[in-house]
Amino acid sequence: MRRIARREALALAAGLGTATVVAACTRRGHASVTSSSGITPSASSGRPTPTPSASLPGPSPAGPDWSGLAGQLRGRLLRQTSSGYATTARLYNPRFDTTARPTAIVAAATASDVAVAVRFAADARVPFAVRSGGHSYPGWSTSPGLVIDVSSLAGVTVDTPRHTARIGAGARLVNVYAALAAKGVGIAGGSCPSVGIAGLTLGGGVGVLGRAWGLTCDAVRSVDIVTADGAARTVDPTHDADLFWALRGGGGGSFGAVTGFTVDVHPVPTVSTFYLQWPFTVAAEVVKAWQDWAYTVDSRLFSTCKLLADPRTDTRRALVAGTWIGPSSDLSARLAPLRAKLPKPSSTSIHAHTYADAMLLEAGCSGRSATSCLAGSLAPVKRQPFAATSSIVTGPLPSTAIAMAVTHATEAMNVAGIYEGGVSFDSLGGAVGAVGGGATAFGHRAAVATAQYTATWTDTGASPARFDAYVRGFRSALAPWLGSAAYVNYADASIANFGPAYWGSNYPRLQTVKRAYDPHNLFTFPQSVRLPGA
Ligand SMILES: Cc1cc2nc3c(=O)[nH]c(=O)nc-3n(C[C@H](O)[C@H](O)[C@H](O)COP(=O)(O)OP(=O)(O)OC[C@H]3O[C@@H](n4cnc5c(N)ncnc54)[C@H](O)[C@@H]3O)c2cc1C
């Protein structure tokens, strides 16, 4: 594939909107995050702090039998003194580096290890969290007790006659895309190469092919899961149908420990990408023209509109980037209505790729192999802390709201120590909106876009407070128009009434499923689905 300017390539990404964090994704150590039972990050610092769980009375006087647990595993049990503990315990976001200190980590080698670990945690009353890729924004895939790490359950096998693939719950996105593409098929998913398939899919999964192919969870045909009773189940539309419903958008960590997915796959298409940038002086016009076009354009076209500020270089950017499923020759006509309403961009590029190359480009790994991309992400250098939160967009913003967005994007120039800050509007609709609002647990089928407010910084010792305040202030500023809804995969500890915010009218049904499959609230963390009445 042709090389594309790195800054442009990174801006193509959906998901965590700032170019810099997506870049960080490609060069950070392997994350581990996790969340868990019994930790509450404080809204100001985001530091996980232990809290008692009503359903977990505490460890037995003799203490947990860690040696006994280790003896039952095919994989490893890592204690704080074990080799590899520090790397494995680490969260994706370095803001949690000093606080993620589980007593033990089960590095599961098999689904049976996961079941053993869940039963152990239940019997020994040990708080725990399940971790796949470790990218939970608030660091909710760690625990002061036990982390059940499924990242070795990462196999990807394609069943060509059935047009399906089986994906282990710990597979990283870049490896999923590469393994599928090698068999001539693909799925829609997120941008960051090291995000885990489990966290992404359980919360929905938005991405650059979403308007064409739907959310990642829409492709799921069955889920393998260990529930709170220690049972390993395969759930699908005819087996544990309510649980299957909840696992498609209801968020990770509330209903059990997923060990794998079976998903429908698509033959890989040509994917064209585009990048258009304008001087920030026309930022408001860019947002207006973009929203008038992006929500109704052909559903094979995904786009993101970003307003980003970088005080280090004293630059602000207004840009529209995206993907088109098809050759680049057809893309220009699709872009014409947008371009007709705006001055000539200061930067323009359009390229065609294979599916595999497009997903690498989106990951910030243009021209590299998936192995190299992930190896870069495993090198523990230049990890970059970030703060983020989100809103849900259900229609065009009026000019006053757009002006507010421009003002707050500019405000990032005044946040001491910020590396890059701003907002990304990522289009939805198309195949995402074609699924009924109650068909899966995902709460925002009527949305036309997500809005994500982001800030990155480089000083890992800096307090996150002012960056959290920036992104949350941005969200509040647009709340008069966007309301309180948010995307669960961009979880934010400060969202108080999180159930309705993440899942809308699907929340009561999620609570009913919770009661049926986890009546003692074994799987719990600060924003886990609550039992009815709780
Ligand atoms: C740089 C970056 C880019 C991103 N881009 C996108 C994007 O393009 N699109 C998008 O939709 N989202 C995106 N996200 C958000 C991402 O989808 C969520 O953070 C997701 O939860 C991460 O999944 P994970 O497995 O890596 O995280 P983890 O931290 O491991 O898990 C997240 C949650 O799921 C639970 N969980 C993990 N594994 C399991 C399991 N096996 N069974 C049950 N529960 C489990 C955890 O306990 C935790 O509560 C991005 C995040 C980052 C940091």
CB of 195 sitting under 6 A from ligand 1: yes
CB of 260 sitting under 6 A from ligand 1: no
Give the residue-averaged pLDDT of 124-139. Answer: 97
- Tell me the CATH number at 479: 3.40.462.20
Task: For the beta carbon of residue 480, count every other beta carbon within 10 angstroms.
Answer: 10
Tally the domains of the chain: 2
Per-residue model confidence (pLDDT) at position 384:
87
Amino acid symbol at 109: A
Per-residue model confidence (pLDDT) at position 346:
97
pLDDT band, very low/low/confident/very high, at 61 (cuts 50, 70, 90): low
Q: Average the pLDDT over each of 279-283, 368-372, 407-411, 526-530 and give the range with the smallest value.
A: 368-372
Domain end call among 149, 167, 199: 149
Q: Does a structural domain hold residue 306?
A: yes
Q: Average the pLDDT over each of 67-81, 181-195, 364-378 and give the range with the smallest value.
A: 364-378
141 and 278 fall within a common domain: no
Rounded CA-CA distance 446/440 in Å is 13
- Tell me the CATH number at 87: 3.30.43.10
Query: Contact 139/97 with Cβ under 8 angstroms?
Result: no
306 and 441 fall within a common domain: yes
Q: Does a structural domain hold residue 450?
A: yes
Per-residue model confidence (pLDDT) at position 371:
87
The CA–CA distances, whole Å, from 75 to 114, 120, 223 equal 10, 15, 22
Tell me the per-residue pLDDT of 468-523, one tens digit each, with 9 for 90 and over: 999 999 999 999 999 999 999 999 999 999 999 999 999 999 999 999 999 999 99
Give the residue-averaged pLDDT of 352-364. Answer: 93
CB of 207 sitting under 6 A from ligand 1: yes
445 and 297 fall within a common domain: yes
pLDDT band, very low/low/confident/very high, at 42 (cuts 50, 70, 90): very low
Q: Does a structural domain hold residue 35?
A: no
More confident residue, 129 or 11: 129
Per-residue model confidence (pLDDT) at position 243:
98
Give the residue-averaged pLDDT of 129-151. Answer: 97
Task: For the beta carbon of residue 371, count every other beta carbon within 10 angstroms.
Answer: 11
Per-residue model confidence (pLDDT) at position 374:
84
Tell me the per-residue pLDDT of 297-311, one tens digit each, with 9 for 90 and over: 999 999 999 999 999
342 and 471 fall within a common domain: yes
320 and 462 fall within a common domain: yes
pLDDT band, very low/low/confident/very high, at 9 (cuts 50, 70, 90): low
Beta strand pairing status for 128-131 and 146-149? parallel
How many Å lie between the centroid of ligand 1 and the Cα of residue 288? 31
The residues with which 494 forms a beta bridge, in sequence order, are none
Give the residue-averaged pLDDT of 247-265. Answer: 98
Tell me the per-residue pLDDT of 198-221, one tens digit each, with 9 for 90 and over: 999 999 999 999 999 999 999 999
pLDDT band, very low/low/confident/very high, at 121 (cuts 50, 70, 90): very high
CB of 302 sitting under 6 A from ligand 1: no
For residue 491, which atom of ligand 1 is closest to its CA? Answer: 19
How many Å lie between the centroid of ligand 1 and the Cα of residue 256? 15
Query: Is the pLDDT assigned to residue 344 strictly greater than 80?
Result: yes
140 and 275 fall within a common domain: no
Query: Contact 69/118 with Cβ under 8 angstroms?
Result: no
Query: Is the pLDDT assigned to residue 44 strictly greater than 80?
Result: no
Rounded CA-CA distance 12/323 in Å is 8
How many Å lie between the centroid of ligand 1 and the Cα of residue 198? 7
Per-residue model confidence (pLDDT) at position 99:
87
- Percent of the chain scored above 90 by pLDDT? 82
**Domain housing 120:** 63-149
pLDDT band, very low/low/confident/very high, at 100 (cuts 50, 70, 90): confident
Q: Does a structural domain hold residue 449?
A: yes
Domain end call among 114, 149, 184: 149
pLDDT band, very low/low/confident/very high, at 25 (cuts 50, 70, 90): low
Domain end call among 149, 173, 201: 149
pLDDT band, very low/low/confident/very high, at 148 (cuts 50, 70, 90): very high
461 and 332 fall within a common domain: yes
Highest mean pLDDT among 1-15, 22-36, 89-103, 118-132: 118-132
CB of 94 sitting under 6 A from ligand 1: no
Q: Mean pLDDT over all residues of the chain?
A: 90
Which one, of 366, 346, 348, 347, lies nearest residue 357 by Cα? 366
Q: Does a structural domain hold residue 380?
A: yes
SS3 for 507?
A: helix
Q: Does a structural domain hold residue 479?
A: yes
